Chains A and B, each alone.
Chain A
Amino acid sequence: DQQVKQNSPSLSVQEGRISILNCDYTNSMFDYFLWYKKYPAEGPTFLISISSIKDKNEDGRFTVFLNKSAKHLSLHIVPSQPGDSAVYFCAASEAGANNLFFGTGTRLTVIP
């Protein structure tokens, strides 16, 4: 059973607008959450993370929000750029654990 879910397989956004990618999880033991970006024929690249003690983390155009009560996190990209077009994976890990649980990914297309 998947513990991290990304229910939107794809998202299209106009350049300059906001992209919002969503992720839900079921395991209340997760304490660290990450977003990875993946281009074709490349491995996932770390983008941004958030600890469960926070509800927001910002890095330039990228902001991750965490709602622990809803077991939901989201990634906001603003403004979106064509180079942001990629597959975005949400991932999570438990405290002290050594493995990541990934979602199925959301393909973001930013239209120039």
Chain B
Amino acid sequence: EAGVTQFPSHSVIEKGQTVTLRCDPISGHDNLYWYRRVMGKEIKFLLHFVKESKQDESGMPNNRFLAERTGGTYSTLKVQPAELEDSGVYFCASSQGRVGGAFFGQGTRLTVV
């Protein structure tokens, strides 16, 4: 069974540009989560989807971040326009039940220069 897949694995963009991260969850997992780790700090929750609905987006930093999950399958996280402080590793996770059973993807390392 395929795990959680994230694309791209690395992205380097200039400040002010737009970047879109993609996450393909494990098939059949209704719950999808986005997390972010800024260099050396804790992994922080961004938002949670159940199927195509946003259940909790309390962790989204600001309105430059937009997450979608059309059709309840894969999800995208768009940052527009990107700022220097957006640099970090963005993790996606999926689960069938409670978040404690979530499987994480390998992450997308975003560098804004």
Q: Do A and B bind each other?
A: yes
Q: Are B100 and A99 in contact (CB under 8 A)?
A: no
Query: CB-CB < 8 A to B35: which residues of A?
Result: 100, 102
A-B contact count (CB 8 A): 66
Q: How many residues of B contact A (CB 8 A)?
A: 29
Report the minimum CB–CB distance from B20 to chain A (whole Å).
19
Q: How many residues of A contact B (CB 8 A)?
A: 24
Query: CB-CB < 8 A to A91: which residues of B?
Result: 43
Report the minimum CB–CB distance from B76 to chain A (whole Å).
18
Interface flag for B91 (CB, 8 Å): yes
Stretch at the interface among A43-51, A55-63, A73-81: A43-51
Interface flag for B17 (CB, 8 Å): no
Interface flag for A41 (CB, 8 Å): yes
